[in-house]
Amino acid sequence: MEKRYIVSIDQSTQGTKAMLFDEQGKCIANEVVAHRQIIDRRGYIEHDGMEIAKNVHLAVRAILEKSGVDRSRIVAMGLANQRESVIIWDRVTGRPVYNSIVWQCNRAKDICDRLADVADYIQSTTGLRLSPFFSGPKIAWVLENVPGVRQKAEQGRLCCGTMDSWVIYNLTKGSSHKTDYSNASRMMLMNIRTGTWDDGVCSLLGIPKSMLPEICDSDASFGFTDMDGLFEKPIPIRCAIGDSHASLFGQGCYEKGMCMTGYGTGSCVMMNLGDTPIISKHGVLTSIAWKIDGHVRYIFDGVINYSGAVITWICKDLGLVSSPQETCSLAEQANKEDRTYLVPAFSGIGAPHWKNESNAMFYGMSRLTGKAELVKACLESIAYQVSDVVSAMSLDAQVAIPFMKAAGGPVKNRYLMQFQSDILNCPVHVPDHEEMTCFGVAMIVGQALGLYDDRTREALDIYHEYQPTMSSEGRNRCIEGWNRALRCVLEN
């Protein structure tokens, strides 16, 4: 029997990645195509939707050329995407009416402030805290601020969605306007219990439901694509899912209580809640992990705005290091007694503290604090933020996590992973698979087609384990210092 292959796409904040997986779930080719980060003086963060649509094609074409496989043996594709980033387009022309507004962008703060009196209603309905971080307020901002858009929306002429919807719409030449439950649950427009767009919340934000995509299972058929002739016959798109959710699936976190952190531009901490949602009282969010084979799994979800982006900042903006790889050795050389902290609130602070107007700050520097100590503080800031989210989840779920699964580019940094284990006081498992998002997508597609089963993932479940080595006294001292720094930011 001839081999069969799956194309997996991860449309992320920094670029679009395509990977090709074989019947054993092994990646045989990959490609990343970066896109522009459009940031103006107000701190508004955007992406060019047309550029991203083009880059999906470039990335897929590249992996096919690299692998040299017979294209007729590619049986399906699936995709994951940066969550919350949202785009609105004209269903007549197929072109965006405005750039994609990126998840980090805080521009819809005033819209959220107007709705402060109904914040509890919004969270109890959607599982999400009222915040400009989510897609709904971003859509409302475009409707209110871009000339002519409100009129077109009321005429039923506009579509909107997270980046999965936009990519699928383009791949299917406009025949499919769909999203999955994981992405829909991050828009702050969906009723977390019914899995439908909520009339009340949409009305509060002034968003016509006609703009919104059809909500489908994560392993549904999202349409067919020949990628503008790249394939002789159209292939099915058999997965759409939020990027961190795909990673959670790829890590095998199928059972209640299992926990994972996806380290990317920001970090996303997730805890599987099983088949029953819990509304948090400690600042984390309730979302849908996925709906696969008709079964819904809920999660606690805590998003950290700046993690990998902190490493990018110290490389490209501060110039402390010339590459991310240098940060590990520099942090290891730093004075262990230095008590400098970075609170990276460059666009406010997300879970579990939620203060949009906060500003970033270095805290606790001495005359002896140098480049190595600043780099050390930057890496440690990522781990402290993850620890804050995990503590909040544990309080709500009344469980202590036995270990943390980790995924994403920053997990290659051994200083960060060891410090994360120390601060959490539990093992951290770093998989040999570097790209768990694309792997998770491939697993979902492969299982939907009968190409993979649980044994496929289990055979590839190889990881390095970091064990905590820090004393309780040292851990408590570190956390107390972080909390002092955090209070200075939150109270100012």
Output DSSP code: residue 412.
G
As to burial, measured by CB atoms within 10 angstroms (0-12 exposed, 13-18 middle, 19+ buried), residue 434 is middle
N-terminal to C-terminal alpha carbon distance within the chain: 66
Identify whether the C-beta of residue 49 lies closer than 8 Å to the C-beta of residue 81.
Answer: no
Q: Characterize 103-127 residue by residue with b for buried, 16 or more Cβ atoms within 10 angstroms of its Cβ, and e for exposed.
A: bbbbbbbebbeebeeeeeebbebbb
pLDDT, residue 218, reads 98
Low-confidence ranges of the chain (pLDDT < 70): 1
pLDDT value of position 130:
93
Locate the DSSP E strands across 136-283: 158-162, 178-180, 214-216, 224-225, 235-242, 259-263, 267-274
**Amino acid 307: pLDDT:** 87
Q: How many CA atoms lie within 13 A of 222 on its CB side?
A: 35
Looking at residue 180, its pLDDT comes to 98
Fold of 254-426+462-492: Nucleotidyltransferase; domain 5 (3.30.420)
Other C-beta atoms closer than 10 Å to the C-beta of 64 total: 22
Q: How far apart are CA 364 and CA 481, in angstroms?
A: 9
CA distance 179 to 215: 5
Chain center to CA of 6: 22
CA 109 to chain centre: 20
Per-domain residue ranges for the chain? Answer: 5-242, 254-426+462-492
**What is the predicted pLDDT for the residue at 313?**
93
5-242: CATH topology is Nucleotidyltransferase; domain 5 (3.30.420)
Provide the pLDDT for residue 223.
97
Q: Where are the beta strands (DSSP E) in 334-467?
A: 341-343, 361-363, 404-407, 428-431, 463-466
According to the model, what pLDDT value does residue 1 have?
A: 55
CA–CA separation, 237 and 360 (whole Å): 41
- Give residue 439's pLDDT: 92
Q: CATH topology of 5-242 equal to that of 254-426+462-492? A: yes
User: How far from 334 is each of 241, 371, 443, CA to CA, in Å?
Assistant: 40, 8, 41
- Residue 348 pLDDT: 85
218 vs 242: CA distance, rounded Å: 9
Residue holding tokens 């879970």?
A: 351
The answer to pTM > 0.95 is no
